[in-house]
Amino acid sequence: MLYVLHVRLEVYCGTDQHTSELGGESPTKFSADPNSGPAAVVRNLHEVLPAPQDGVFHAVVTDRFYTSVQLALQLLSRNVYTVGTIQTNMQGFPPAIKAEYENHPPHIPRGTTRMAAAKCYPPLTALLWWDRKPVHLLYTGGSKVLQSCGKFLLFELLFNYLCCACMSCSERRLRGGQKVVVPCPAMMRDYQRWMEGVDIHDQLRLQRYSLQMAVVFRKYYKTIFLGLVDMAIVNAYIVYREAQKQRGEAPADHAKFLRVLQAQMLELTPADFTDAVSYCISFFYCYLIVYLFYC
């Protein structure tokens, strides 16, 4: 199972920000707000990636909130390939690839794939893949080879609002133990493989013992604070599992890790901290322990 550590984060403040708050006009053509959407992808990649070099390429996986034709072309100019699900109402997405049905119709076999390559740049390809629901994908530089994908009809992974589980080397069973094989494009496997780690991190942070979701505050910064604590706990859990694997121990489940964390926090005393901040830190840990026990 793939886990991804969250080491960089950015608080989404919405698109309705005034131009004066953004420091002038947006330098990008994607959005009036360079702090969100595709514009944020370009800005963040400019900060973390080295300058483009001949023969050196990177790959970025995005979800449907960020993926667009304009973003894919601009990233490609920086030697960055893109693969991601896309909203069909995005500018430049070919109408012929849009699904006519919200769910899989009986007359279309599962695994049916429809592709459309851009005339101006053939490696830019839009794709419709029929699983239990239609999956729309946009990618540059990906493989168009179809592969076999084992399926669980009942336990498929959710990506955005789509149901898609695609793994080239795994066997999945239907109800009653029957196995089924569904062909899928190779780029769908790549998308699932790299997005899975992000999805699992979000599930651990928001759906299992979440402090952020346990209570609603009027002050937004309190919710952000608890979200940061959730993120730190999930990151610690991932590192803890890896440390157990290196020691040859069986990895602990999430609930067991939280019990160990709570027990260790209860053992802390003011003597574990400096005199100047002992009171504040002790109050913080008491506050956090209450949430860990009652959420």
Per-residue pLDDT, 156: 33
Task: Please state the separation of Cα 16 from the chain's center in Å.
Answer: 24
Q: What are the E-state strand segments in the chain?
A: 58-62, 80-85, 113-117, 124-130, 134-140, 146-150, 158-159, 162-163, 181-185
| Model pTM score | 0.58
Tokens of 148: 């076999």
121 three-class SS: coil
Element of type H or E holding 228: helix 220-246
Per-residue pLDDT, 22: 41
Torsion of CA 113, 118, 119, 123, to 10 degrees: -90
Per-residue pLDDT, 171: 42
Local confidence pLDDT in tens for the 295 residues of the chain: 445 566 667 666 655 443 444 444 444 444 445 555 666 677 777 777 777 777 778 888 887 877 888 888 888 888 888 888 888 888 888 888 888 887 777 888 877 888 888 888 778 888 888 887 888 888 887 665 555 554 433 233 222 323 333 334 334 455 566 676 777 788 787 787 777 666 677 777 777 788 888 888 888 888 888 888 888 888 888 888 888 888 888 888 888 888 888 888 888 887 777 665 544 555 555 556 555 555 5
Tokens 């990177």 belong to residue: 58
What's the CA gap between 195 and 143, in Å, rounded? Answer: 17
Please list the residues that pair with 184 across neighbouring strands. 147
196 phi and psi, to 5 degrees?
Answer: -60, -40
What's the CA gap between 241 and 246, in Å, rounded? Answer: 9
What's the CA gap between 267 and 275, in Å, rounded? Answer: 18
Per-residue pLDDT, 28: 44
What's the CA gap between 211 and 228, in Å, rounded? Answer: 10
Per-residue pLDDT, 35: 54
76 three-class SS: helix
Residues belonging to the chain: 295
